Amino acid sequence: MKKYVCTPCGYVYDPAAGDPEHGVPPGTPWEQVPADWVCPVCGVGKDMFEPES
Partner 1 sequence: MKGPFQAVPVTDKVYWVGAVDWDIRDFHGYATSRGTTYNAYLVMADKPTLIDTVKAPFADEMLARIRSVCDPKSIRYVVSNHSEMDHSGALPQALALIQPEKVLASAMGVKALQAHFHWDVPVQAVKDGETLDLGGERLTFMETRMVHWPDSMFSYLQGAGVLFSNDGFGMHLASARRFDDETPERFVEAAKYYANILLPFSDIVLALLDKVAKSGLPLKLIAPDHGPVWRREPERIVSLWAEWARQKPRNKAVVVFDTMWGSTDKLGRAAAEGLVQAGVETLVMPLRGNHRSDVATELLEAGAILVGSPTINKQLFPTVADLLSYLKGLRRKNLTGAAFGSYGWGGESIKLAQDALTEMGVATVEPVKCQYVPDAAALDAAHALGQKVAAKLKEALR
Residues making contact with partner 1 (CB under 8 A): 8-11, 41-43
Find out whether 49 and 13 touch, Cβ atoms under 8 Å: yes
- Distance in Å, CB of 42 to partner 1, minimum: 5
Nearest to partner 1 of 10, 29 (CB atom): 10
- Distance in Å, CB of 9 to partner 1, minimum: 4
Please, which contacts does 14-22 make with residues 24 or more away whose CB atoms are closer than 8 Å? none
Find out whether 6 and 33 touch, Cβ atoms under 8 Å: no
- Distance in Å, CB of 27 to partner 1, minimum: 24
